[in-house]
């Protein structure tokens, strides 16, 4: 087959797969406002426990295990993630806060040899 035909087939396949992905999984959020990965070690290695969502969450203690570190993937403007050393999001045991200005991809560990046992995301509502 000549190169233009192969290129046209590859392009058509790509668009077909994109359309199928968008329609086959309608419940998957396409507008993630925040995401991060928790790790069992302070070196951010081992199996990651990914968390992602849209909007505020309330207290979440549904972690696969108590984490020693995290890497931030994204935080939208108007959102912040609070990490806690307990499973009740008790402000007296706040370990870290991540927001839009936090460097993505950097391995972050809690202060004072704490761990992350729960988190809470707060996002401002934007009026349209």
Domain limits, the chain: 34-123
CATH topology of domain 34-123: Gamma-B Crystallin; domain 1 (2.60.20)
pLDDT greater than 50 at residue 19: no
Give the whole-angstrom CA distance, residue 87 versus residue 63.
Answer: 9
**Tens-digit pLDDT profile for residues 49-100:** 999 999 999 999 988 878 999 999 999 999 999 999 999 999 898 989 999 9
pTM over 0.85: no
- Using alpha carbons, select from 37, 33, 72 the residue that is nearest to residue 51: 37
| Residue entry with tokens 């806060």 | 97
Q: Of 9-13, 19-23, 29-33, 67-71, give the lowest mean pLDDT range.
A: 19-23
Alpha carbon of residue 118 to chain centroid: 14
Whole-number average pLDDT of the chain? 80
Integer Cα distance of 124 and 92 in angstroms: 23
Q: How far apart are CA 54 and CA 75, in angstroms?
A: 10
Q: Kindly report the CA angle at 116 between 113 and 120, in degrees rounded to 5?
A: 140
């Amino acid at each position: 087959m000549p190169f233009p035909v192969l290129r046209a087939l590859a392009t058509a396949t790509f668009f077909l797969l994109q359309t199928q992905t968008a329609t086959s999984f309608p419940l998957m959020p396409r507008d993630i406002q925040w995401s991060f990965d928790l790790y069992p070690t302070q070196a951010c290695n081992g199996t990651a426990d990914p968390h992602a969502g849209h909007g505020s969450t309330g207290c979440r203690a549904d972690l696969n295990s108590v984490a020693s570190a995290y890497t931030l993937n994204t935080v939208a403007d108007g959102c912040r993630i609070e990490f806690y050393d307990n499973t009740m999001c008790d402000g007296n045991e706040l370990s870290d806060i991540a927001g839009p200005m936090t460097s993505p991809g950097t391995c972050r560990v809690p202060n004072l040899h704490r761990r992350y046992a729960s988190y809470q995301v707060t996002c401002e509502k934007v009026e349209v």
